[in-house]
Structure 1
Amino acid sequence: MSTLHTVQLQCNTHVQISNDGGDLSSDAGMALMVEFLHKIKFDALLRATVHFNDTRTRIAHDYRDTLTQKLLMNIAGYFHNNAANTLRSDPAFQILMSDQFVSQPSLSRFFANVSTENLLQLRELLWQIACVYFNHCLQRQFILDIDSTHSDTYGRQEDATFNAHYMAYGYHPQVVFDHSTGLLLDALLRPGNTYTGKDADQFLERTFNHLAQLRNHAEVIVRGDSGFASPDFYAACDERRYGFIVRLKANKKLGRLADAKVNDIMLDTGDSVSVYHELNYQPTTWKRAYRVIVRSEHVAGELAFWNHTFIVTNLEAIEAERLFPFYQARGNVENDIKELKNGFGFDQTDSSKFVCNAARALISGAAYNMIQVFKQLFVPEDTRMTINGLRLALFHTAGRITRHAHKLIIHLSAQYVYANWFWLLLTAIQALEL
């Protein structure tokens, strides 16, 4: 039970603040998400996808219900397990979860029971949530942005190692997003010293298999930075007849070839110039030759005559001038990663065990995908709205709970600023047909 406080304001001594308000909730708006989970049949989806080896003799709370609770906690912004001790007494969460809200010790036991097989199932759950939207809108064009990021660790977490790029100890997860929807298609937690593009072809294989199972034939282009420039990565895309466009690190040979292309260009150091050209370039490690496009730039006033940027691609029909802007658009994946981490706690590493931390990350990813699908279906005019904006306007909404004639009623404030939007969304959710 929360400690009762009464504090007098210094700015106005006639005003006191107390937390003895009774059956009040600051999360009444989470009713929208619980209704949304019901409409997309999330419980059935979860039962078909994730299977726990539950050896308990007395089961008060099914582990899948516990997973759903953790997902809703992440959506509401409560990343740490100990928040459950307070939230289980929250009247809105009590009635929305049918009094099945578990405490922090139960959440900790849940994570301790997660197996490596469950991690594969949770990765499948990411995809199945994304498919709610893909199957609904029959999406067939995909631009996949693959990247890696860093999750800090503190203490002696299992498999936490030093990453020289980030100059920190932690994990180095690999992620792949769909550019147009921002949906997370797969995620893999890895030790901190794992190279960015290590086994990226194998990582993508799961997503490629999923795309091949969609009802419509998927047209796919994969984009990655120079960490993913490897023959195996190119071959994995070629085998599926998927396009790719990847940044290449500069080296002496590429530099000489690029310089030879611009040697005859008369250049005034006061001019800013960009020129594009292709190179005849196939290292011995490549299984075949690919298009290597060079953008050679000179910025007015700079002493260096030319700066070269290289990309490699199997896309033959797109002009060089269009390829570079197309590649640079992958920069938005950094915003998706930022939202995933800051908005949903993807980089929370509260456990000493690697499997537990991986499960936390994947459940955070599932919460992120749930909101992305929600936005695509119901907020299409502002799909880049962050979760913090949704929490402020919709989820963290004051409500009072009453019981009358065998019914539970959530009363929202009469002065609720976003009331019109709330009721429009609730109506749209209830009208949803998948």
Structure 2
Amino acid sequence: MKSSHTAAATFAAADDSNLIAYGGLAAGVRLAERCGLPGLVRDRVRLTGAANGAGTAPDAKVMSLVAGMLAGADSIGDVDVLRHGATARAFSGIRAPSTLGTFLRAFTWGHARQLESAARAFTANLVRHCALLPGADQVIFLDIDSKVKPVHGYAKQGAAFGYTRQRGLHFQIVTASTPIAAPVIVASRLRKGSAGSAKGAAHLIAEAVNAVRSMGATGQIIVRGDSAFCSHKTVAACRRLRVRFSFTIAQRTKVRTTIAAIDDASWTAIKYTDAVFDQDEQRWVSDAEVAETEYTAFTGKPKKHHATARLLVRRVKRLGRAHVPDGQGELFTAHRFHAVFTDTALGLVEAEATHRRHAIIEQVFADLEDSALGHLPSGKFTANAAWLTLAALTHNLTRALGALASAFHARARTGTVRRHLIAVPARLAAGARTLTWHFPDRWPWLAALENLWTAVGHRLRT
């Protein structure tokens, strides 16, 4: 590929007022309206008494922030991307970044919770409208995890040094997924940077369970998490809510003793990295094996907190040579052990493999940080809490746009959906009281864009 003209014969002019850089925003804004986002914000987010008129028109301000995030904005100033070309003709009520910053800074913790309530109701409408969680009548996985978002400078409220030894703010999210559906975010919470990973986890799990049930999910709910979330509080919350749990458990002395007592004949080889299936013996020849036993956890707590369930253990051969003394061969096979505390009714191999798929939440973290959560943009803690909620909402909206477009985009990364279906240049033409969006011909993903366009109620010119 090379330039078609010399530099001397190439010119540029910013003089076309009919162009829009993000033509796919039309479908995103229309879908948000169809699922009731403006009305939910008007009804539930009430910033009464806020100075400088910050509390007026919260629906227009939230829609401006969400539209900016759909276009890839990761700071308040980046929302100015909406004010170019023909966007003022295509959309009404676009607010300036300075207005949006004032709006976010007017939030208190109560207002942030009001916004979370509106976001949960909107996500429920989105899931039902777009069939975002197919298979939720069979089984639905709730994955919980936390992450420290590094921040810089000393003006950020709540910023502190946590387990990562970086100054930051610490947020939790819970995602919902099924074996055939990509994850959507059903609960989120911002905490100070020094907060423990599991602080408030039991309450957030309860919010997530209630949220997915309000979406019409009737299947078995399984809550998954890493060892930071394996506590008597989270297990008690799962049992109180009548859902199953699957948590990695830290290998303290009692767990190691229980693992050592497992009979060597109880181990079953599983399909793992570089595994080979033996056709004659009908089994996997693998470096990983699994076994299970019964285990009572939290015995250091009062008896009412004791919990008995299955302990699933995966052992993997240590392939490195660091544990073998110089000049000696391997006298016996050494293993690394990974233990899971669970009460699921799945078979041993399936239950262990199902727990490992908890790693899907890391993809959601990557998607968030590749878009609106590239930064926590305000110095005020509650403004950042509202920003996190809107980032999660926009992630779900982007996921819904992909689901309406094609089977590929339903499971694609949100960055891919943004490049293929939202960042599509368009030229507006008005006539006969209609507005026509002219997209590029031979756009590689035109079929998916047409599916999305018609799914939200727009018509195509033929």
TM-score range for the pair, normalised by the shorter chain length: 0.7 to 0.9
Q: Structure 1 length normalisation: TM-score?
A: 0.86
Are 1:185 and 2:186 an aligned pair? yes
Whole-angstrom distance in 1 between the partners of 2:75 and 2:368: 16
Residue aligning to 1:66: 61
Shift of 1:426: 1.2
Give SS of 2:382's match.
Answer: helix
Residue aligning to 1:362: 389
Residue aligning to 1:422: 449
Contact 2:75/2:376 (CA < 8 Å) preserved in 1? no
Shift of 1:332: 1.0
Are 1:404 and 2:431 an aligned pair? yes
Residue aligning to 1:95: 89
Whole-angstrom distance in 2 between the partners of 1:190 and 1:59: 24
Q: Deviations over 1:52-103 (max 9, x none)?
A: 3255687996122011110010011122222344532431x212322x2121
Give SS of 2:98's match.
Answer: helix
Residue aligning to 1:3: none
Cα gap change, 1:429/1:23 in structure 2, threshold over 3 Å: closer, same or farther? closer
Q: Deviations over 1:307-329 (max 9, x none)?
A: 222111122x3222222111001
Identical residues among aligned pairs (%): 19
Number of equivalenced pairs: 417
In the TM superposition, 1:383-398 aligns within 5 A as 383-398=410-425
Whole-angstrom distance in 1 between the partners of 2:198 and 2:385: 19
Aligned CA-pair RMSD? 3.0
Shift of 1:9: 10
Contact 1:274/1:298 (CA < 8 Å) preserved in 2? no
Residue aligning to 1:287: 306
Whole-angstrom distance in 2 between the partners of 1:419 and 1:75: 19
Are 1:330 and 2:331 an aligned pair? no
Cα gap change, 1:261/1:32 in structure 2, threshold over 3 Å: closer, same or farther? same
Give SS of 2:153's match.
Answer: coil
Residue aligning to 2:76: 81
Cα gap change, 1:12/1:182 in structure 2, threshold over 3 Å: closer, same or farther? same
Whole-angstrom distance in 2 between the partners of 1:417 and 1:208: 39
Cα gap change, 1:273/1:212 in structure 2, threshold over 3 Å: closer, same or farther? closer
Whole-angstrom distance in 1 between the partners of 2:408 and 2:81: 35
Shift of 1:355: 0.6
Shift of 1:18: 3.3
Are 1:320 and 2:348 an aligned pair? yes
Residue aligning to 2:140: 142
Q: Deviations over 1:334-357 (max 9, x none)?
A: 0011112212x2252221110111
Shift of 1:218: 4.7
One-letter identity of the residue aligned with 1:390: V
Residue aligning to 1:160: 159
Whole-angstrom distance in 2 between the partners of 1:290 and 1:357: 39
Q: Which moved more, 1:249-258 or 1:205-214?
A: 205-214
Whole-angstrom distance in 1 between the partners of 2:80 and 2:402: 30
Q: Which moved more, 1:49-58 or 1:66-75?
A: 49-58
Are 1:274 and 2:267 an aligned pair? no
Give SS of 1:189's match.
Answer: strand
Residue aligning to 2:36: 41
One-letter identity of the residue aligned with 1:162: F
Structure 2: tracts of 5 or more residues without a match: 268-284, 325-332
Contact 2:266/2:291 (CA < 8 Å) preserved in 1? no
Match of 1:380 among 404, 407, 422: 407
Whole-angstrom distance in 1 between the partners of 2:452 and 2:24: 11
Contact 1:130/1:373 (CA < 8 Å) preserved in 2? no
Q: Which moved more, 1:62-71 or 1:252-261?
A: 252-261
Give SS of 2:373's match.
Answer: coil
Shift of 1:163: 1.7
Residue aligning to 2:149: 151
Cα gap change, 1:350/1:17 in structure 2, threshold over 3 Å: closer, same or farther? same
Give SS of 2:192's match.
Answer: coil
Shift of 1:115: 2.0
Cα gap change, 1:301/1:430 in structure 2, threshold over 3 Å: closer, same or farther? same
Whole-angstrom distance in 2 between the partners of 1:292 and 1:372: 35
